Structure 1
Amino acid sequence: MDEAPAGFWGVLRRPFVLDLRALALLRMATAAVLLVDLAIRSTDLEAHYANLGVLPVSALMERAWTPYQFSLHAATGLWQLEALLFLVAAVVAGALLLGYHTRLATVASWVLLVSLQNRNTLIGQGGDDLLRMLLFWGIFLPWGRVWSRDARHQPAPARLSYFSAATVAYVVQLALLYWCTALLKNGTEWTRDGTALYYAFSLDQLLLPGGRLLYPYPGLLRVLTFGAYFTELLLPFALFIPVGVRWWRLLVVGVLFFFHLTISVTLFVGLFFLINWASVLGLLPPVALDWLERRLGPVLGRLGPRVQRWRYWLPAWQAPWRLRLERTAPPTEQDQYLARRARDLFVALVLTYICLWNLHDVALLRPARGIFPDRLRWFGYLLRVDQHWGMFAPTVFKDDGWYIFEGTTASGSVLDLNRAGVPVNYAKPAAVVSLFKNDRWRKYSENYLFVDNAWMRPYYCNYLLRIWHENPAHPPLRHLSVVYMKEVSLPGYQVAKPVREVLCDCELPAQPAPPVSLRN
C-alpha cells in the first residue's frame, strides 16, 4: 500500500488514492447486488436458462454466441443443473460479502457472473456491464484487506490509503461510464430541444409513479433533461481534480446517489440504480468513513484484525493421521515486487484496451476506428470487458406499446395469456409496466420487437403454449398470436392511435399437444 508522496507525481496520484475501508464497502455492496440479482433471476430458471425456455442452448450457439465466449451455464439445458450453479454462485457471493478468501471469491464470482450473462444476452442491460466490470477490477483491488473475515488473520494495515494501477482503472472506468453515456446521446432531444425525458416518460413500458407525477410539466422535464445530460458529461471531471479531493469525492457520490434515486422512482430500470449506487462507494473519502466507523464501530469491530498463526490442523477423525498445513517459504520482497509490477502492467494494458473500445464506440475521433480494429475485439469478448453505455442514446425510443397474447380456444373464445387468461381487451392497461414480471422480461420483450431478432419469436410462442397447457385448469388452445399494440410517442402530448401488429402466429392441432407448426 502506498500513500501519495509529495511532489508533482504525488499530486497527480491524489485522485486515484482510495481508502481501504471504501474498497471494503465496494466489495460488500457488489456482493449484495450479486445476491439480489441471483434471487431475481432464479425465479425464471427454466424460462431464461433451460432448453424448455425461450432460448435453448442450440439457439444460443446458433444466434447469439461468439467463439470467444465461455459459459458454464451453457453446458447444460436442464433447469436442475442451472439451479445448482445458482446455488454455488450465491455461496461464493456470500463469501465475497463476508470477505472470506476474498480473492478466490472475487475470481469465482466473476467467472460465474460472466457465465450467467453469456447464457442469455437477450435479457441484459447496461447495469450488467458495470456489475461485471466491478468484479473484474475487484480481482486486482485489496477490497478484503479490512472489514472482512480475511482481515482477522492479518495485522492491521500500516495505513488506510492505497494506490495502484487498479485504483486508476476503477476511477477511470466510472468516468468512462458517464462520459460515454453523455457523448452517445447526440440527438437533438438531449443537446438542443430538451425533450428526451418527455419521450422517456411517454414510454408506458418504463413509466413508474414518480415519472407519472413529473410528466405533465414540460418546462420541468426540459430542465431535468439538460440537468441529466450535463451531469453525465461534466461531473466525471471532478474525479480527476487533485486539489480538495475529499470534497470533490463527496460531491460526486452525493450527486450520483440522488441522480440514480430519481431514476429509480421514475423509470423501471431493474437493478441499474442499485449497481450504480454500489459502484461509487469506493470513492468515499476518509472523512465519510471515519464518520461511518464511529457509528458502526461495534459491528465493524467483529471484522477487525485478529492475528493468528498461519497453520491449520485437520481433526483426527478426518484421517488416520494428522496433517499440518503451513506456509513454509513466504515470498521474498523481490517476488512481491515482481508480482505487483506484472499485475499493474496487465491492468494498465486492459485499461488502455477499454479506453480505445469506448473511444471507438463514441467515435469522437476518426482515427479511433483505425486504432481499434475488429480483429482485436476477441480479447474483450473473452474477458467480457466489452461495454456499451448507450442508455437512451442517441435518442429515446418512440415505439411504445403493450403485448397481448391472443389464445383461441377450441370453443372459439379468445383469451389474453398475458393477463391470466381473461377475455381479450385491446384497451391500454392502466399500468403497462405491471405486465412484466421483472426487468429481465421487459428487456426480453424489447429485444423481441426488433426485426433482426425475429428468430426469437417461435421459441417464445412455443414456451407460452407449453406453460399454458401445463396447467390442467386452462382450456386447450388451438391458436396463439403474439400481438403488439404499437403506440408511437408523439410530441406535444399528442396521443397516437395504437396499431395492432402480429409478431408470431402458432397453429395447434385440435387436441392439446406441443405446437407442431410455428411461423413468423
Structure 2
Amino acid sequence: MGQRMTSFKTIFGIDLRSLALFRIGLAILIMVDLISRARDLEAFYTDEGVLTRSASMGYASDFRWSIYWASGSEWFVVLLFIVAFLVAFLLLIGFRSRLMAFISWIFLLSIMNRNAVLGAGGDSLLTVMCFWAILLPIGARFSIDSALNRRYQTEPNAEPTSHNYFSVVSVGALLQVMYLYFFTSILKTGDEWRVTMDAAYYAVHLDQMATIFGIWIRDFPALLTFGTYFVWYLEIVAIFLVFSPVYHVPLRLFILALLVAMHTTFFLALHIVLFPFIDFMSLSLLIPGICWSWVARINDRAKRKDVTIFFDEDCGFCKKTCLILRSFLLPESVKILPAQKNPDIYPIMERENSWVLRDHKGGLHTHWNAVQYLFRISILFRPIGTVMGLKPVLKAGNRLYGWIANNRATMGQITERFLPYREVKEQATWFENGLGLSTLYIVTYYNIAGIPQWNIKYPKHVSAIAQTLRLDQRWDMFAPYPFKFSQMPVIEGKTRGGEIVDVYRMTFDKPIRTYPKLLSADFKNYRWRKYLGRISSTKNTKVLSGYGNYLCRQWNKDPDVAKDKQLAIFSIKFNRLRNMPNYQEPVPSTISVWTHWCFKEFAIK
C-alpha cells in the first residue's frame, strides 16, 4: 500500500520548481494579455465602446460580476489596467505570490465579464489556471517569498526542503490541465474528426484564421489527414499516458513533447495568438523533477556553486538582498555568511563599505561589480549581466550602490515594513485541500455535463458556483467539427450627402467585397476578428446596436467634418465562402446581419 501511495504521489505531485515556472508564465501572460487588450481599451471596455456597462450586464448571466462595471469612464479602465499590470509584475517576481494570484484572478474574470462577446478558450483557461494558482504554493521557489522565508531569518544557509508537493490541490490542478485535451476529444463528434479525417483540411481553409504557413500547408493533403489523426488520438490518450504508473517519466515527457509540437503547429498555421502559450504555461505543471535535476547539473558549475556571499551582520537589509539574489541567480547551496565572522573578509567590507563576494577561484568582488558578476554567471540573466558591465552602466551602478550603502538604515526600515520574513507553506492545509476537492468536483461535473450526447444537466449549485468564480468551461475548439466557411465583413454606409462609403475601414472609398490574399491580415487584431465573428452570428440586439452606435461615434466624432460627410446609415453584411471537401471550389454567399442609422431621420420606416 505504501508503494502504491508513493507512486500515486509521484504521478499527481508537482515539483515546486515547476510551480515557479508556472507562476512566471502565468504572470507574463497576464501582462502580455493586458498590453494586447490595452490597444482597444476604449472600444471594448468603456461606455464609449461597442458594449456599454448596462448592455454588458444584460448580456451576462445572473451569476457574473465585474469590477469594470463600477465605471464606464476611460480613466477608470486605464487605472484598473495599470493596477492589474503591477499586480501581475509582483506575481512574476514572487512577492506575496498567492495574494497576487488572487487579485489577478479577480481582474481576469472581471475583464472577461465586462465584454463576454470577446470570450475565447484561451481567456477561460488563463482565468481557471489563475484560480488554481491561488491554492498552490507558487512562491515556494525562485521568488521573493522563498528568499525571505522565515526559516532563513536566523539561519540563511538552512537545508533546502523537498521539491515535491502533493495534495488534493495538486491532483485537481493536474487533472484540470488534462481535461482540456480529454473533453475536447469527446466533443469532437463530427465525421471530419472520426470518419473522413479532414478536420485539419477545414481548419487551415478558414481564411480569417489561416497564417501564411497555414495557407502553404493546404497543398499537402496527406499531411493534413495525418494531422487530424494526430490531434484527435493524442487528445484522447494524453490524459492516460501522462498519469501512467508504468514508465511514468518517459511517457510523460513523450506526451509533453507531442503536445508542445501540436500547439506549436497550431500557432504556426492559425492566428490564435496567446492560446498556445497559455497551454504551455498550464503544461509546465507536468514537468517532472528529474528535468530540474538535469538543469541543476548544468547550472551547478564550479563558478556558480562555489560562490560565497559575505554581508554586514548588523544590516538586515543587506542580508535580505543577498537572500533575494541567491534565490534568483544562484543554486540554493551557495553560502551566505556574515563578514564579521571572517577575519580576512571583514576588513575589506569595512574599508570598501560594501558587501563582498568570493568567486570559485577565490577572487573578491565588491560594490556594483559583485552584483554584475552574479548576473554574468547566471545562464538566464547573463545578457543583463553583460549590459551591467558596460562603462556607462557600471558608472551609474556604482553611484547607485554607493547611495544605497550610505542609506542602509533607511533601506532597512523600508524592507522591515514592506519585505518582512514570512512563512512559506509548502504543503496544503486541510482547508486548502477542501477547497481543492470542491473545485475539482465543480470543474469535473461542469465538463461532464457539457457533453451533449451524455444528456447530463448542470445542477444549480454547480452552475452558480462555476459561473460566479468563472470556473465554467467548455473545451469545444473545432468541435464538434471545424467551421466550414470563411467570412469577411462588408459594412457599406451612406453619408447625409448620399455618398457610399466603407464604414469597416473608415474610408470614403466604396467597400471592398473581394477577398484579399491574406484575409487574416484584414482584421485589426485577434480580438476584433473574434468580436466580428460573434457579430456575424448573434441575435442579441443590444450587442448589434452597440457596435452600430460605436461605428456612428467613430465616424462622426470629428466636429469639423462637413454635415454632408457625416455617416447617416449603414448595413453590416458578411461575404462568406463555404469550404467544400476535396479542394472543390468554395461556394460564395452573403448574409445580412444588421442595419443601423446614426440619425433618427434616416430610420427605416
Matching residue within 544, 555, 569 for 1:479: 569
Instruction: Map 1:474-513; keep pairs closer than 5 Å.
Output: 475-509=565-599
Q: Report SS of the residue matched to 1:500.
A: strand
TM-score by length of 2: 0.76
Q: Report SS of the residue matched to 1:387.
A: coil
Contact 1:195 1:225 in 2 (8 A): yes
Determine the C-alpha separation between the residues in 2 that align with 1:300 and 1:465. Answer: 57
Determine the C-alpha separation between the residues in 2 that align with 1:52 and 1:137. Answer: 34
Q: Report SS of the residue matched to 1:7.
A: helix
Q: Which blocks of at least 5 consecutive residues in structure 2 are unaligned?
A: 153-158, 305-324, 338-407
CA shift, 1:270, in A, is 2.4
Q: Report SS of the residue matched to 1:482.
A: strand
Q: Deviations over 1:281-331 (max 9, x none)?
A: 1211223223334556768753667999xxxx9969999xx9999899x99
Contact 2:141 2:327 in 1 (8 A): no
Determine the C-alpha separation between the residues in 1 that align with 2:107 and 2:604. Answer: 36
Instruction: State the match for 1:302 in structure 2.
Output: 328
Contact 1:418 1:435 in 2 (8 A): no
Instruction: State the match for 1:225 in structure 2.
Output: 228
Instruction: State the match for 2:479 in structure 1.
Output: 393
Distance change (3 Å), C-alpha of 1:260 and 1:491: same
Contact 2:552 2:598 in 1 (8 A): no
Contact 1:407 1:415 in 2 (8 A): yes
Instruction: Map 1:259-274; keep pairs closer than 5 Å.
Output: 259-274=262-277
Contact 1:257 1:277 in 2 (8 A): yes
CA shift, 1:6, in A, is 4.5
Contact 1:436 1:442 in 2 (8 A): yes
Larger radius of gyration: 2
Q: Does 1:433 align with 2:520?
A: yes
Q: Does 1:21 align with 2:13?
A: no
Contact 1:403 1:483 in 2 (8 A): yes
Partner amino acid, structure 2, of 1:349: S
Q: Report SS of the residue matched to 1:478.
A: strand
Instruction: State the match for 1:512 in structure 2.
Output: none
Q: Indicate the larger mover: 251-260 or 415-424.
A: 415-424
Contact 2:445 2:462 in 1 (8 A): no
Matching residue within 49, 56, 60 for 1:53: 49
Q: Report SS of the residue matched to 2:219.
A: coil
Contact 1:106 1:135 in 2 (8 A): yes
Q: In percent, how many aligned pairs have the same letter?
A: 30
Contact 2:488 2:515 in 1 (8 A): yes
Q: Does 1:257 align with 2:250?
A: no
Paired residue total = 496
Matching residue within 81, 88, 101 for 2:96: 101
Distance change (3 Å), C-alpha of 1:303 and 1:149: farther
Determine the C-alpha separation between the residues in 2 that align with 1:167 and 1:317. Answer: 37
Contact 2:197 2:228 in 1 (8 A): yes
Q: Which blocks of at least 5 consecutive residues in structure 1 are unaligned?
A: 510-514
Q: Report SS of the residue matched to 1:408.
A: strand
Instruction: State the match for 1:163 in structure 2.
Output: 166
TM-score by length of 1: 0.87
Partner amino acid, structure 2, of 1:429: P
Q: Indicate the larger mover: 280-289 or 182-191.
A: 280-289
Instruction: State the match for 1:37 in structure 2.
Output: 33
Contact 1:144 1:150 in 2 (8 A): yes
Instruction: State the match for 2:76 in structure 1.
Output: 81
Determine the C-alpha separation between the residues in 2 that align with 1:244 and 1:170. Answer: 22
Partner amino acid, structure 1, of 2:239: P
Q: Does 1:207 align with 2:210?
A: yes
CA shift, 1:206, in A, is 0.8
Q: Deviations over 1:468-502 (max 9, x none)?
A: 22355794223222221122222222234432333
Determine the C-alpha separation between the residues in 1 that align with 2:207 and 2:419. Answer: 61
Distance change (3 Å), C-alpha of 1:68 and 1:477: closer
Distance change (3 Å), C-alpha of 1:412 and 1:225: same
Determine the C-alpha separation between the residues in 2 that align with 1:501 and 1:269. Answer: 25
Matching residue within 4, 14, 25 for 1:8: 4
> Pairwise CA RMSD of aligned residues?
3.1
Instruction: State the match for 1:344 in structure 2.
Output: 433
Determine the C-alpha separation between the residues in 1 that align with 2:553 and 2:417. Answer: 55
Contact 1:210 1:266 in 2 (8 A): yes
Determine the C-alpha separation between the residues in 1 that align with 2:336 and 2:439. Answer: 35
CA shift, 1:217, in A, is 2.5
Q: Report SS of the residue matched to 1:423.
A: coil
Partner amino acid, structure 2, of 1:159: S
Determine the C-alpha separation between the residues in 1 that align with 2:489 and 2:417. Answer: 64
Determine the C-alpha separation between the residues in 2 that align with 1:316 and 1:175. Answer: 46
Determine the C-alpha separation between the residues in 2 that align with 1:268 and 1:342. Answer: 42
Determine the C-alpha separation between the residues in 2 that align with 1:324 and 1:113. Answer: 26
